[in-house]
Structure 1
Amino acid sequence: MNIQEWDSLSLFQWQACPGLVSHQNKLKSRTSCSCEGTKILSVGTLDGHILVFNSKFELLVDFVACEGGVTQQLQLTNNQSALCCICLDKQNAILIQFWSVKNVRKRISNDVVCLYERRLYGIPNPLFPATSIAISADVSFVFCGFANGTVIQLQGDFLRDLGSKQDVVFRERDSITNLAILSPRKLFVSTTTQTFLYDIFAKSIETLENSGLAIGCSEVFMQRSLVCANSSFISVYDAKNVSLLKTLHVEGTIQKIFSCFGYVCLLVSTTPSLSTQSDGNITNEETSLWFSILDLESQLTLFHFEIKEKSISNILYASDDCFFFYDDYPPQQLIRLPQDFVLYKCFETEEFEKSYLLANYLKCSKDIIRDCALRTALQYFEGGQSEKAIDYFIYAIPFSDSALIIKTYLEKRLLKCLLRYLEALAAEGHAYSFEQSTLIFLYVKLRKFNSLMTYAKSGTCSTELLLPILRKYKCFDQMEALGKIWNMPFVCLEVYQEKNLKEKAFHFLENCHDYIDMIGISNQFGTWFINSDPLRFTDKMAEVSVSLLKLGKEKNLITFLKAVYLSTFMQQPDLQMRLWDTVKVHSKDPIVLKFINTRKLHALIQKEMKCMNPDNESEAFLLIKDCKGLLDYESSILSLQAVHWSNALDLLYSQKSLNSGSNDTIIQKLLKDPKTADHLTEIYDDEAMLHLLRFLVQERSITNVHEDLFFKILENCFIQFKIPIQHILDILMKDQTLTLGTIKKLLLRWETHCSSRIDENDRQYTYLQKELVSNQSQLNSIPTEDQLCDTCEGVLKIPFSSYSCLHLVHRDCATESICPKCKSGVLDVPPINHDKHPSSFHELFSQLSLLESFML
C-alpha cells in the first residue's frame, strides 16, 4: 500500500525555539549519539561528555563519561533510573558503563554516579564502533552490536555492580545495524544484508529476512510491533510471534525511523532526478529530505514537511517532544496542536468534512463529533448535494432536525435517502412517533416489507402507529404475520374478517383458550361470528365456560358470561338458552346457578316478547319451581310483570317470601318449632318480635299457612312485650288483606290489658306518695346544730362512722366494733368494693347511706 494514498491531517505545527540557540552551539558538530525517554533526553558527544535534558530541552546535567574518549551508544533502562553508555577511551578500549540519573530526573540533585564500568573484550579491531545496544527489561542482559559484525552479550547485576560475564554470541561479516529485545527470550538482530532472530536461552539463530537494514531503521513501537524500514519499504511485525502484519511503500529512501508523540516518524530522502531545461541543458536537482508522522493503524499521514538535507544538523526527540537543529537558522520544536484549536481552524476555513474526520480520529466526545457532522451535512445540504448530506445527517443524530429533514426529502422525493436516515434514527433509539410513522410509511411506500417486518420485530416499533398505517394501505398479510408474532388475536381476526376467511377465523378461535381474549373477541367480532356460524360460536363460548368451571374460577366465569351476553348474545334468546343449558349441566356453584337461572328466565321472557307462545310460560314456571331459590327475584319479578304471567309471578312471590326467611335463624327457629310462640319472652326481645311480625305480614300476603302463628305473634307484641302501637301499625299497614274486623277481638283484649295496667300504676303512685311524705317529716326532725362525736365529744365532720344503735363517731374514734357508749350497737362496715376503690362518689354514697339509716 502506498502511503501517499492516505488522507493527510495537519495535527502538528513548527514552533521557533530561540532559547535553544546556546544548546545548538554546544551540540553543533559534537553529537555522536542520543537516546530518549518519557521525561529525559540524553545526548553523547565526540569528546566523551553526556548531556541530560528534560522534556522541555532544559539542560539538567553535563558530565564526563570518558575523558578524552568518544561516546558511541546511549540507552536508558525501562524505569529511566539508569543510563547505559558504550564509549571508546583514549587507549582505544571499548567500555560499558551504567550511570545513575534517578536524582537528576527527579531534580533532587545534579549528581550522577557511575554504578558499573567494564571493558568489553573480543573486539578484533577497536576501530569499528558500537552501532547498537539493547537492554532487557530487568537489566540482567545487555547486548551490544559493532560495525565488524560482532554482538557481545553481558549478563549480571549491573546496577549494584555485583559482577558480570560477557560472551560473543553473534558474528557476521556485515556490520550490525540494529538490536531490539522483543521478549525475554528473543533478540532481533539486523545487519546491512540480513535480519535474524536470536534465541537468548537456546543461543540459536534464525534468519528472518534476506534483506538488511540501515542504522536507525528499526523501532519497537508501543511494545506491540516491530517496525523495520528497508529502502522505500516499511515492514510491520508482531512483536510476540514476529509474524509480518503489513508492508507499506514510500517514495524515496528511508534514512531513519523512530517513535514520537505515540506515532511512527520517518526521515525520507528523495532520489535526485534529471530535468531538461528549455535550452537543452540537463540540470541535477538537489536531494530533498522529508519528515513525516504516520499513524500506521489508521493509515493517516498526520504531518508531512520538506527539509533541505544539507541544512539539518541533528534531530533530538523524546516521547512527546521533537527538536530539529539546523546549521543556518535557530532550532525548531514540533508541537502537537490541541484538538480544539485544530477543529476551530477547520471551522474558520469551512473545512467541515475535514473537521469531522479529525474529530473521529482524535476520539473527541460524541457531542463534538455530532456537531462537526451536522456542520458538514448542512454545508452539503445548502449546496444542493442532498444525497451526500444524508450520510452526515445520520452521523449527527440526534443533533439533526428530523422534522426539517423529513419535510425536505419528502418534497424532493428522495425517499431512499430519507429511509436510510430514519432507519439510523430508529437504531439509535431517537425515533419518536412522527419519525416512526414516517419510517413505516416509507417501508410500505417502497414495498420493503422484509425490512418492515424486521423493524417491527425489533421491539422499538409502536403497534399503535404501525397497525393503523398497515390497515390504511391494506397490508393484510403483514398484519396477520405481526398478529401471530406479537400474539395479538384481534389483529389476525381483523384480517380474516376483512378477507372473509371464516374457516381460518374459526380455526384460530378454536386454538384460543384464554377467557380474557375471548371476551375481547366477543366484543369486537362476536356479531360477525354469529352471522357466520351461530351454533359453532356458541359452543366455543360454552367450552370456555366449562373450562373455567373445571378450574374452579367461578368468579371469572360470571365475568365472562356477563361480557359475552352484553356484547353478543343479548338479542339472541335461542342461543342464550343453548349456552345457559350447557353451562348449567356442569355447574354446582349456587352463585353461578343463580346467575344462569336468572338469565335463562329473562331469555324466555325475551322470546315471549318477540313471539307469544304458551310453552314459554310453562317453561318459566318449571324453571322457577326447580331453581330452589337460586334466582334474582327483584329483576325476575319486573320481567314477569312485563309479560303478565300471573301463575309464574305468584310462584315467584311465594319463593321469594320463603327464601327471605331461609337465612334468618330467628325466623327458622319459629317455623321449625311453632310451640316456641308460647314462651316468647324467654327467647326474643322487642326488636326480634318486630322482625318476626314483618316476615309473617309479608308471608300472609302470599299464603295463609302461618295464619295462627301470625295472630299469636301480634298478640304478644301488643300485650306481653308492650311495644308501642304505632310501631305495630306501621308494619300491619303493609298487609293489604288485613281489616279492622279481623283484629277487633285482639284490640279489645289489648284495651282491657291497658286498663288493668293503668289501675295498677295508680295504686303504686298512691303508695309512693305516702312514702315521700313520711321521709320528708323525718328530714325536718334532724337538729340544725352541730352533731358531736359520742366518743370524744368533738364536732362531728364528714366522713364519720355509725353504729347500729345510731350513735355517731369520728372515723378515727371507731376503733371498737361494739358501741362504747351503750355497749349494744354494732359498727357499720362499708361495702368492700368501696374500700378497694375509694372515690368522692363512693364517700358521698356511704355518707348518704348512714344518714338514711340515722333518719330511719
Structure 2
Amino acid sequence: MTLHVSNWKRLSLYHKRDRTRCFNRSFTCVSSRESYIVAGYSDGSIHILKDTFENFQTLELPLKVTVQQIIWLSADSFVTLSSVPDHDSESNVIIYCYKLIREPATDSSRDEFVLVNEHIIAVREPPYPITAFDLSLDARTLICGFASGLVISIKGDFLRDRSLRLSVLHQLKEPVTNVKFDIQEPNLLYVATTGKLITISGKVVSVLDHLGVAMNCMDKFNTPLTRDSVSYSLVCARSETVSFIRANTLDSFLLFYGEKHYACVNGDILAIVFTPSAKSNSKGTVVPGIGYDKKSETLCRIMLLDIKQQLIVWEDIVPTHVAHVLSRGSKTFILTVDGYVQELEALSLQKELKLLTKRSMFDIALELAEQHRIPLEERRKLVLQYADYLFRQGSFSEAVKYYISEIQSCRATEICRKFLEVNEIGNLVRFLEALNFHLLASQDHLMLLLSSYIKLKRYSSIEHLLDKGGFNIMSAYDICYKSGLYEQALRLAKANGLHERVIDLLVEEGKYLMAIEYLKQMEPDVLESLLLISGHSLISNLPKETTELFISYYTGTYYPIRKEQKDTNLKQTKSAPYFLSLMPYSNPLVSLDGVIPEQSTHEDGVTKTPESAKTSLAELPNPQNCFHIFVQHIDCFIVFLESLLTKTNTEHQTFIATSLFEAYVRKSRNDISAEGAIYEKKANALLSESEVHLDLNRVFLISQILDFDEGVRYVQGKTGQMLDMFRSYCQKNDVNRALAMLRTHGNEVQELYTIMLNYFCTDGNVDGWEKEFQKVLQFVITNRLVSTPQLVDILSRSSSLTFGDIKQALRNMLRFFESAIGANGRQIEGKNRRIHAISEQLQILKSSAFVVQETVCSACGSELEPPVVHFRCHHSYHMRCIEDECPHCKWSSQL
C-alpha cells in the first residue's frame, strides 16, 4: 500500500513557544523518560533536567570519556555507553549504571541519581563509536551497533550483576545506523546500515532490503497506518519514502520526497527532520507563508505527521540543525545542535475539536472525542454536526447513519424535512424506522413513514406498520385510501371499528351486497347511523335487501350476524396488487350467567346467534329518521311502512300511518292504471280502520294538496269541522248530504242553517227544495241567527223567491218581535222601581246617622276591634276577615 503525503491535509495542532537554551554546544546525546531528561557530554559529564527543563543534577563519570549513548532501564534508572580504545588496538565498552535514590522525607528536592554499578567489557575490535543501540522489553539484553559494522549483544542485570555476557551477533561491512527489536516478536532484531536493512533471528540473518537507512531515521512504530489496517513494528525514513515494516516485510510506503536525517515516533505522531540541503529544500514541501534562503545550509525543516489520521499537524523551519526531538506528553521539544530547545505544545482538546470541525474534519474529531471520552452531550453535538456536514455534501446514506446513532437527541422533525426536500425517501425511511424502533416516533412520524412505504411500494413494510399501530387511525386510513391501497384501508378500518369508512369503501367499489352483509354484523346501536349514511346508495342498487334490513331494524327484529371470516375481492387501482386477508369481525357474546352461548354454523359460513343470546334495542327507534332514504323509492317505502304499522308502538304509529296514507295517495295519483286504483282503495281503507290513528292535520293537508276529497271530508268529520265540511257539500251541490248533516248536527252547530239559507238563496238552488227552504228559514228567524238587515240581504239575492214563499215566515217574525217588545217594557218598569227605592235610601243616609250596633265580627264571631268594616246591610267585619264585599249581602257591591 502506497500513500501520497502530498494529498494529506494540513492542520496546525501545535502552539510554538519561544526558544530557550538548556544545553551546551558540546552535548553528544540526549534521552528522556518520565519526569527527567538526561544529556551526555564529550567531557564525561551528565546533565539531568526535570521535564520542565529545570536543572536537577549534574554528574561526572569516573572516567573522563565521551558519553556516546544514554539508555533508560526504567523510570528511575539509566546507563551510559562509551566505547574507548584499549592498549592492543582493541576497544572496551564502558557502562555506567545510575539509579534515582528517593529520600524518605517528603521533600523531593533531596532526591538524586547515584552510580550503582559499572561494567567494562572488552571488544576485540578496533575502537569505533557506538552508533546505534536498543534494549529488550525485559531490560536484560542490550544491542549495540558500531560504525565498523559490528553488532554485539550484552546480556545481564545491569544494576546488580558484577559481570555481563557479551556475544557478537553479526559483522557487517557498512556502518550500523540503527538497531531495533521487533515489537511483536521479541527475538527478531532489525539492523540497518548505510547500504542495507537486515533481520537477525537467532543465528539466521536475512536481508530485508538493499537500501540503507540514515542514522536516527528508524524507530519503533506500533500504530495502524490507516483506520482499517493492522499495526506495524518499525518505520524507516528515507530520501523519497517512509517505509513501514511488519512481520519481517516492507509492507507499506509513504511517498515523501526530501532527504531526512532524523525520525522518531510518539504515539500516532511521526516527527520527520529534513536534511538542511539545497536539494531537499527544492524537493520538499514548504509551509505557506514561510520563506527562507534555499542556499542556506543552516535552515532545517521539521514536520509532524499524524499517521493514523493522515494529517500534517505541524510544519516549521528552525534556524539550525536539529539534534533530537523529544516528546513529553502533549508537548514536543525540538533540540538543536546549539543547545536551544523549541517547545511545541499541542492545542487543548476543545481548541483542537473546534479547529477540526471548522475544517470539516468531523471523522477525525469524532475519533478524538471518543478517545478522550469527552462529555456525552458534546459528543452527540459533534456527531450531529458531522451528519449535517455529510448531508450538505450529498452523502445521504452516511448522514442518516450518524443521525440514527444519535437518534435520542437529534431534531427528528427537522431531519425528516431535510430528507423530504431532497427527495431521499429511502434514507428517510431508514431514519423513521429507527425512530419507531426506539419508540421515539410521533404519530406524524408514523404517518410520514407510511407514506414513504407507499411511495417505495414496500407492501410488506406497510402491513407490518399497520399491524403494529400507534398512529392516528383516521390519518392512516386516508393515506391508504388516497394512495389506492383499498385493501389495506379496508383492513385497517375493519380492525379499528371504522364502520362508516368500511361501508363507504365497499359502496364506492360497487360491493353493495358485501356492504349489506357487513351492516348485518353491526350492533343495533351502531347500525342506525350507518344505515342513514349509506342508505341512499344501497337502496338504489339493492332495494329489496336494503328495505328488509331497514324493516328488521326499525321493527325491533334485527339481531347481528357473526361471520367467521370472509375475504374481499377488492383490487388496487392505483398501486401494484397486494392482498391481505381481512381480520374476522368476531365479538363473542356472553350470557348473564357467564356461559358463552352456543352457535350454529351453516354452509355459507354465517354463524347465527341463538335466541337466548340475541340482543336488541331497549326501545324501537324513531322511523322518521330514515324516511328521507326512501325518496324516489315509493314502492320500498310502502313496504317499509306497512311492516312498521303492525307494531303496537303508539308513540310512532300515528306518524307511520299518516306517512303510509300519503304514500298510498301519491302512488294512486302517479299511477293511472288499475294498480293506482288499488292504492286509492288502500288509502280509503286506512281512513276507515278505527284502530289506526292518523294525524288529521297532515291528512287534511295531504288530501288538499293531492286533491283527495275523501281525505278532506274524513278530517272534517273527525275534527268537528262541520262548517268546512258543510260548505264543501254546498259547493259541490250535494244537497242530500248537506241536509243529512243539517239534521244531525244542526242543533249543535246552528250556523249550518245560516250556510244552508245562503245556499238556497243562490240563483236556482231553491228549486225543488221549497219545503226544506221553509224549515230552514223558519229556524233562522225563530232562533235569531242573523239580524233583520242580514236576513233581508240574504233573501234579496235570490231572483226565484216570491213574497208568498216568505210570507208566513215574515208573519212569525213579526209576532216574535211584538212579544219581545212587551217583555222588554215590563223589565224596564221593574228596573225603574228598584232604582227609586235605592235613591230613597241614599237620601236617608245623607240626612241621618247610621247606627252600628254589632259588637262581634259576622265572619269569625270574635269581638270587633279596629280596623273594622261596616256595611249598610248592618253587617260588620274585621278588616282581615273580608276583602271588598259583604259575604252575606250580594247587593253591597253597589255602595
TM-score normalised by the chain length of structure 1:
0.53
Structure 1 residue aligned with 2:110 = 109
Between 1:292-301 and 1:527-536, the stretch displaced more is: 527-536
Structure 1 residue aligned with 2:507 = 530
TM-score normalised by the chain length of structure 2:
0.51
Determine the C-alpha separation between the residues in 1 that align with 2:58 and 2:549: 111
What does the per-residue CA deviation read over 1:125-182, in whole Å, with 9 as the maximum and x for residues that have no partner? 1x11212221122223222222222222233333332764332222222222212222
| Structure 1 pair 158–371 and aligned structure 2 pair: CA distance change class (3 A) | same
The structural deviation recorded for 1:357 is: 11
> Does the CA contact (< 8 Å) of 2:429 and 2:449 recur in 1?
no
What does 1:348-387 correspond to in 2, within 5 Å? 353=359
- Confirm or deny that 1:440 pairs with 2:420: yes
Alignment equivalent of 1:187, drawn from 185, 189, 195: 189
- Confirm or deny that 1:587 pairs with 2:609: yes
> Does the CA contact (< 8 Å) of 1:191 and 1:213 recur in 2?
yes
> Does the CA contact (< 8 Å) of 1:605 and 1:639 recur in 2?
no
Code of the residue aligned with 1:109 in structure 2: it is R
Alignment equivalent of 2:312, drawn from 301, 321, 325: 301
The structural deviation recorded for 1:321 is: 3.9
Code of the residue aligned with 2:217 in structure 1: it is C
Code of the residue aligned with 1:335 in structure 2: it is L
Determine the C-alpha separation between the residues in 2 that align with 1:357 and 1:421: 12
> Does the CA contact (< 8 Å) of 1:216 and 1:256 recur in 2?
yes
> Does the CA contact (< 8 Å) of 1:422 and 1:435 recur in 2?
no
| Structure 1 pair 261–574 and aligned structure 2 pair: CA distance change class (3 A) | same
Report SS of the residue matched to 2:17. strand
Code of the residue aligned with 1:52 in structure 2: it is I
- Confirm or deny that 1:574 pairs with 2:547: yes
Report SS of the residue matched to 2:615. helix
Code of the residue aligned with 2:195 in structure 1: it is T
What does 1:718-797 correspond to in 2, within 5 Å? none
Report SS of the residue matched to 1:541. helix
The structural deviation recorded for 1:536 is: 3.0
- Confirm or deny that 1:36 pairs with 2:32: yes
Structure 1 residue aligned with 2:143 = 143
Structure 2 residue aligned with 1:123 = 124
Report SS of the residue matched to 1:538. helix
> Does the CA contact (< 8 Å) of 1:189 and 1:195 recur in 2?
yes
Determine the C-alpha separation between the residues in 1 that align with 2:307 and 2:327: 20
Flag the structure with higher helix content.
1
What does 1:584-733 correspond to in 2, within 5 Å? 586-588=608-610, 590=612, 592-595=614-617, 638-640=651-653, 642-643=655-656
Alignment equivalent of 1:285, drawn from 254, 279, 295: 295
Structure 1 residue aligned with 2:96 = 97
Code of the residue aligned with 1:112 in structure 2: it is F
- Confirm or deny that 1:269 pairs with 2:251: no
Structure 1 residue aligned with 2:253 = 247
Determine the C-alpha separation between the residues in 1 that align with 2:114 and 2:425: 79
Structure 2 residue aligned with 1:16 = 18
What does the per-residue CA deviation read over 1:709-737, in whole Å, with 9 as the maximum and x for residues that have no partner? xxxxxxxxxxxxxxxxxxxxxxxxxxxxx
Alignment equivalent of 1:45, drawn from 32, 41, 47: 41
| Structure 1 pair 592–64 and aligned structure 2 pair: CA distance change class (3 A) | farther
The structural deviation recorded for 1:249 is: 3.2
Code of the residue aligned with 2:120 in structure 1: it is R
What does 1:486-497 correspond to in 2, within 5 Å? 486-487=465-466
> Does the CA contact (< 8 Å) of 1:480 and 1:495 recur in 2?
no
Code of the residue aligned with 1:28 in structure 2: it is R
Determine the C-alpha separation between the residues in 1 that align with 2:361 and 2:454: 48
Code of the residue aligned with 1:292 in structure 2: it is M
The structural deviation recorded for 1:69 is: 1.8
| Structure 1 pair 361–11 and aligned structure 2 pair: CA distance change class (3 A) | farther
> Does the CA contact (< 8 Å) of 1:237 and 1:243 recur in 2?
yes
Structure 2 residue aligned with 1:65 = 61
- Confirm or deny that 1:394 pairs with 2:388: yes
Structure 1 residue aligned with 2:211 = 211
Between 1:426-435 and 1:252-261, the stretch displaced more is: 426-435
Larger Cα-atom Rg: 2
Structure 2 residue aligned with 1:83 = 78
> Does the CA contact (< 8 Å) of 2:400 and 2:427 recur in 1?
no
Report SS of the residue matched to 2:518. helix
Report SS of the residue matched to 1:440. helix
The structural deviation recorded for 1:322 is: 1.0
> Does the CA contact (< 8 Å) of 1:16 and 1:333 recur in 2?
yes
| Structure 1 pair 607–587 and aligned structure 2 pair: CA distance change class (3 A) | farther
The structural deviation recorded for 1:245 is: 4.9
| Structure 1 pair 642–219 and aligned structure 2 pair: CA distance change class (3 A) | same
What does the per-residue CA deviation read over 1:554-588, in whole Å, with 9 as the maximum and x for residues that have no partner? xxx67775775576469965363689467286113
Code of the residue aligned with 2:168 in structure 1: it is V
Structure 1 residue aligned with 2:343 = 334
Structure 1 residue aligned with 2:226 = none
> Does the CA contact (< 8 Å) of 2:524 and 2:559 recur in 1?
no
Report SS of the residue matched to 1:526. helix
> Does the CA contact (< 8 Å) of 1:359 and 1:369 recur in 2?
no
Count of aligned positions: 556
| Structure 1 pair 523–145 and aligned structure 2 pair: CA distance change class (3 A) | same
Determine the C-alpha separation between the residues in 1 that align with 2:33 and 2:630: 107
The structural deviation recorded for 1:83 is: 0.4
Report SS of the residue matched to 2:506. helix
> Does the CA contact (< 8 Å) of 1:83 and 1:98 recur in 2?
yes
- Confirm or deny that 1:541 pairs with 2:541: no
The structural deviation recorded for 1:85 is: 1.9
| Structure 1 pair 59–559 and aligned structure 2 pair: CA distance change class (3 A) | farther
> Does the CA contact (< 8 Å) of 1:479 and 1:492 recur in 2?
no
Structure 1 residue aligned with 2:238 = 230
Determine the C-alpha separation between the residues in 1 that align with 2:252 and 2:413: 49
> Does the CA contact (< 8 Å) of 1:569 and 1:576 recur in 2?
no
| Structure 1 pair 597–591 and aligned structure 2 pair: CA distance change class (3 A) | farther
> Does the CA contact (< 8 Å) of 1:33 and 1:45 recur in 2?
yes
The structural deviation recorded for 1:216 is: 0.6
> Does the CA contact (< 8 Å) of 1:115 and 1:158 recur in 2?
no
Code of the residue aligned with 1:440 in structure 2: it is L
| Structure 1 pair 244–422 and aligned structure 2 pair: CA distance change class (3 A) | closer
Where does structure 1 lack aligned partners over 5 or more consecutive residues?
276-282, 375-390, 398-414, 546-556, 625-632, 651-856
| Structure 1 pair 394–523 and aligned structure 2 pair: CA distance change class (3 A) | same
Report SS of the residue matched to 1:643. helix
Code of the residue aligned with 1:229 in structure 2: it is A
> Does the CA contact (< 8 Å) of 2:31 and 2:37 recur in 1?
yes
Between 1:595-604 and 1:162-171, the stretch displaced more is: 595-604
Code of the residue aligned with 1:524 in structure 2: it is R
| Structure 1 pair 393–529 and aligned structure 2 pair: CA distance change class (3 A) | closer
> Does the CA contact (< 8 Å) of 2:35 and 2:51 recur in 1?
yes
> Does the CA contact (< 8 Å) of 2:644 and 2:656 recur in 1?
no
> Does the CA contact (< 8 Å) of 1:394 and 1:421 recur in 2?
no
Code of the residue aligned with 1:80 in structure 2: it is A
Determine the C-alpha separation between the residues in 2 that align with 1:213 and 1:418: 43
Determine the C-alpha separation between the residues in 2 that align with 1:159 and 1:593: 103
What does the per-residue CA deviation read over 1:393-412, in whole Å, with 9 as the maximum and x for residues that have no partner? 93399xxxxxxxxxxxxxxx
What does 1:413-562 correspond to in 2, within 5 Å? 430-431=410-411, 433=413, 436=416, 439-440=419-420, 443=423, 459=435, 464=444, 484=463, 486-487=465-466, 505=486, 512=491, 515-517=494-496, 519-520=497-498, 522-530=499-507, 532-533=509-510, 535-538=512-515, 540-541=517-518
| Structure 1 pair 495–640 and aligned structure 2 pair: CA distance change class (3 A) | same
Code of the residue aligned with 1:32 in structure 2: it is T
Determine the C-alpha separation between the residues in 2 that align with 1:426 and 1:9: 27
| Structure 1 pair 107–543 and aligned structure 2 pair: CA distance change class (3 A) | farther
